[in-house]
Amino acid sequence: MVEKRNTKAFVEKIVPRVFKAALLVTLVYLPVYFLSALVHPLESFFPWYEPLTNIFTIVFTILLVVGVFVSGTIYQYVLGVARTLVLMLFFIYVLNGGIIALAMPIEGATVSIVIDLRVILAMLVLVCLLGIGKNVVHAIDFVSAKVETEEL
Amino acid sequence: MRYAVRALGWATKILWILIVVFAATAVHSALNVRMGFGQPQIFFSNKSMVISVPLFVNNTGLYDLSELNMTVTVMDYNGSLVSTSTTFVPSIPRGSYIESAHNVSMSLDDITSKLVNYLFNDTVFNLDMSLKLNFAHAIPFQASMNETVPWGAPLYNFSIGQFSYDSYNLTHERVIIPLSFENHSPFFGIDGTMRVELYNSNEELLGSSVSDLNVPSHSKYDGQVEMIVDISKITGSGEVRFYFETSTFSFGPVVMPYG
């Protein structure tokens, strides 16, 4: 009877997390999919984009899913920091450090194009750092709340 | 602590939304900017060769373009700088269209005096075109291309043939100098006069004459120059000096030895 109740409680706890994880994975996958579809015609100019995005998506998804399953523990925030770090490194790598240089053949001539995206990259890194800060503060808050609960 | 966490959460969310909106609108705007170089045109005015590169920018995007800077550098076949010029447009507001011609001007007198080689030998000019601008006052953009423009020598294979002498009177002879060259220039014909001076080996002027020239582009000139010279001064060798005065360039002397 107790075993049955434990199983029921486990299922009640795990099923919403599975749905939440599935929903979040879909939400992460959709923009990546649309971005890939957008970049696909220009693949020859960004050869590094697709393999890198696949690796990033896999790592990010794993961290996201594990983060959902360990929510309510300190690991949720540790994984949150790891996820944001991965995202930050992805942006730095995919934007080539902020300077994108392409060589496009146009009407027989080769046009060299250089786009300086360092301002955009700085904004993205800033938001990622803010996300890391948020997770750290959240983790501190979580630990202090836990200590308070234990003291009471 | 809760408020700090909440504030950080909201700040992060708002910044993400701003970045996504900016990125989406920037990509949309960039796709709506039409910009290009036309085919370089070459024409002549006031003894200058002008290479005109048409430039158009149609900014139908959501953001302004600023600090448009176009530079064209012309170099000859061995990389020596022939000319450089810059066009600067401070601002292209959203929804506006600009069309302009970037002109690179080269004095033909300069070309002919400094680089005589261009008159007699076919070559190519290298055109380095670069365009820089600031997109949405935040994203610097630069495009550059390299193109070659063929240069056909207007006096290609300029040569004089064997002189022939006809008796004119007891003291003078008529000298006939055969002359030929090819106008390889795709851009201009040679229209003007050619002055020829004949010197003996003592550098004494034997005679001179002026001939009209009308040699269209991509055509050959085969002619002769006649002059009356003093028999007593003829030494059998010396030099012929040519001076050209045409609508596109003035040049001389071209010195050719004979004998």
Question: Using N-to-C axis directions, what is the helix angle for A75-94 and A49-69, rounded to 10°?
Answer: 170
Q: What percent of chain B has pLDDT over 90?
A: 21
Does residue B164 have a pLDDT over 60? yes
Q: What is the Cα–Cα distance from A118 to A43, expressed in whole angstroms?
A: 22
Mean pLDDT score of chain A = 85
Residues 6+ apart with CB under 8 A from B80: none
Q: What is the Cα–Cα distance from A58 to A50, expressed in whole angstroms?
A: 12
Question: A127 vs B15: CB contact, 8 Å cut-off?
Answer: yes
What is the structure's pLDDT at B141?
92
Question: A123 vs B9: CB contact, 8 Å cut-off?
Answer: no
**Local structure of residue B138 (DSSP, 8 states):** T
- In this complex, the residue of B1, B140, B146 whose CB is nearest that of residue A116 is B140
Cis peptide leading into residue B253 (ω within 30°) = yes
> H or E segment at A100?
strand A99-106
Residues 6+ apart with CB under 8 A from B28: B61, B62
Chain B contact for A134, CB < 8 A?
Answer: yes
Chain B residues touching A114 at Cβ < 8 A:
141-143
* Cα distances (angstroms) measured from residue B9 to each of A78, A137, B79, B97: 16, 10, 58, 43
User: For B38, which residue in chain A has the nearest alpha carbon?
Assistant: A107
What is the structure's pLDDT at B115?
58
Question: A124 vs B139: CB contact, 8 Å cut-off?
Answer: no
- CA A27, chain centre distance (Å): 11
Does residue A10 have a pLDDT over 90? no
Q: What is the Cα–Cα distance from B66 to B57, expressed in whole angstroms?
A: 12
The better pLDDT of the pair B92, A3 is held by B92
Convert the pLDDT of each residue in A52-101 to its tens digit: 788 888 898 899 899 888 888 899 899 999 999 999 998 898 888 999 88
Q: What is the Cα–Cα distance from A27 to B248, expressed in whole angstroms?
A: 69
Find the length of chain A. Answer: 152
What is the structure's pLDDT at A118?
93
Mean pLDDT score of chain B = 85
Q: What is the ipTM of this complex?
A: 0.78
Give the gap in angstroms from C-alpha A7 to the nearest C-alpha of chain B.
34
Chain A residues touching B12 at Cβ < 8 A:
127, 130-131, 134
The partner residues of A35 in beta bridges, in order of sequence, read none
Convert the pLDDT of each residue in B219-244 to its tens digit: 999 999 999 988 888 888 899 999 98
Chain B residues touching A140 at Cβ < 8 A:
1
- Which stretches of chain B sit within 8 Å of chain A by CB? 1-2, 4-5, 8-9, 11-12, 15-16, 19, 22-23, 138-147
Cis peptide leading into residue B216 (ω within 30°) = no
For chain A, count helices (H), then strands (E). Answer: 4, 2
Positions of E strands within chain B: 33-37, 41-45, 48-59, 65-75, 81-92, 96-107, 123-135, 139-151, 156-160, 164-167, 172-183, 190-200, 205-215, 219-230, 238-246, 250-258
Average pLDDT over residues A9-23: 85
